[in-house]
Structure 1
Amino acid sequence: MRRLLLACILSLALALPAFAAADVSKLQLPGDLTLAQAQKVVDGALEFAKQQGVPMNITVVDAGGNLKAFCRMDGAFLGSIDVSMKKAKTARLFNMSSAQLGAASQPGQELFGIEVTNN
């Protein structure tokens, strides 16, 4: 068992330099944002939250709707973590801002009732 564990660790150690040298752009989805771009979004949202005087949970998702960056300001509601993440993913999957989604989900609009679908 020790030999197997040692062999696995050695294999990983030898593979790390090759992975580090890999072209990460090939691992990204077309049109995806970089970590630096996601950080700019977080920084802008932090500034907006500070101006509003409301501690917020901030979620940035990638082109596939997967978590790219997250920030929970001191004092932000713990229950809003999940809300923030679902809101960001929903906006991405519908390819529209939360404001547009909100307008489209009003009575008589095409997405009315969306808030009670899919958990």
Structure 2
Amino acid sequence: MKTLLFWCACFVGWAAGPAQGQTTSPAVVVVRLFDNGNNLIMDIARPTGAPEHREFKPRDLRAPGAAAERTRQLLAQLYQEGYGLTSTYGGGDHLGSTTTLVFTKRM
């Protein structure tokens, strides 16, 4: 009887969660934003496919808040695809600012 209980406990433990060594790595999307006040450049690297490059010239950004709206549209698209913001880092100088956003797929 003890052996039967032991094996039942083993099977319940095994079925309760996946082993760490068998889990897959999460899907990661990296977005680099460069903004110098005139241009907005978005470089997007996804887990599959070629990296995407979006560049918005001053004529595309004439309206107040246009750069923020373009960024909001990209973030909304990633959230709809199931990605969540994991980390961010950035910097800048007299030429403009660069921000890097890291998204991972939510399970």
What's the TM-score once normalised by structure 1's chain length? 0.24
Rg larger for: 2
Q: Select the structure with the greater relative contact order (CA < 8 A; seq sep ≥ 6).
A: 2
Instruction: Pick the structure with more helix per residue.
Output: 1
Instruction: Return the structure number with greater strand share.
Output: 2
TM-score by length of 2: 0.26
